[in-house]
Amino acid sequence: MSEPVFEEIELMAVVPDNMIGERLDVAAAQLFDSYSRGALQGWIKEGKLLLDGKKEKPKIKVEPGQTLTLSAVLEADDRWLPEPMELDIVYEDDHVIVVNKPAGLVVHPGAGNSTATLINGLLHHAPEISALPRAGVVHRIDKETSGLLMVAKSLKAHKSLVEQLQEKTVFREYQALAVGGIKLDFTIDAPIARHPTQRVKMAIVDEGKPAVTHISIEKRYQHFTWIKAQLETGRTHQIRVHMAYQGYPLVGDSVYGKPYFPKGATPELRSALQQFKRQALHAFALGFVHPETQEFCSFEAPLPEDMQLIIQRFDEDPGEN
């Protein structure tokens, strides 16, 4: 197994006008959004994240024009263990892996999920990623969301992919099934943060992190719409929260929506909806600049069988076309 390699972080950002009066840790979480608020708070307290060159407390208020500088080291996590796992590898070379994650598989080990996660399987498949921060995983998708993820296999690749995510140049497009008849394409620009009272949920919150989702219609049905959602940002539960906020929750989303069975639906369609136990969301397309060749790479993963079945039932239902 490789010796641990630690990622040296050197970042700078200027506080924009719309962050006037924000806490330093809140502003940092928005400006350096590839890192958790907990990690950023720790770096502030340790003097590794400075405001105008000075060590400050996380709660101090920031002003437009002030400069945040981050100089820290992100260490690899050696608590995660490799486990044999069948993986759907879409692409792999010496620098990156693109994997198609099935619904039901957790990405990162954590409370209640210390084993049998995607990272455990990736560590078995490519032991060298154990030396990288977050085992090379630079972004994640929800447990019950299927689709494409990119994983770094080298420190150079990790830095490059993180920077591309920060610069919003990674192309990420999802396919989803929404409840409701959407008439036109639209863009949702609404900030997202942890729900103020229901901590397992996210919500639209004025002081939340900026979040932008572009929605286009793939096919309309009478009570449902098959859509594509392109992420400009990558917040937790972003598409699910944004669609529910617009009044079009995703099929099967028990957190931000509720079961819906249209009047007059065929028994086959009703049964398919009853048996669909996850949000109908699939990370369909992924594109990024290759860290080594500097060429733009793009990948697609076909819709999983459960989403294909629902769409087939919509197409077969006379009341749904």
Q: Looking at the annotation, which residues are catalytic? A: 142
Q: How far is CA 276 from CA 106, 237, 279, in A?
A: 18, 19, 8
Maximum C-alpha span of the chain: 67
Q: Where are the beta strands (DSSP E) in 86-211?
A: 89-92, 96-101, 146-152, 171-179, 186-189, 192-194, 202-204
β-strands 171-179, 281-289 pairing: antiparallel
- Residue 217 and residue 77: Cα distance in Å, rounded? 41
Query: In terms of DSSP H, where are the helices of 33-129?
Result: 37-45, 118-125
CB of 310 closer than 8 Å to CB of 177: yes
- Cα–Cα distance, 260 to 174 (Å, whole number): 22
Q: Does residue 232 contact residue 169 with C-beta atoms inside 8 Å?
A: no
Read off the amino acid at residue 306.
Answer: D
- The H or E element that residue 225 is part of is strand 224-231
Q: Residue 273, SS3? A: helix
CA angle 59, 61, 66 (to 5 degrees): 125
Cβ within 8 Å of residue 186, ≥6 positions away: 215, 246
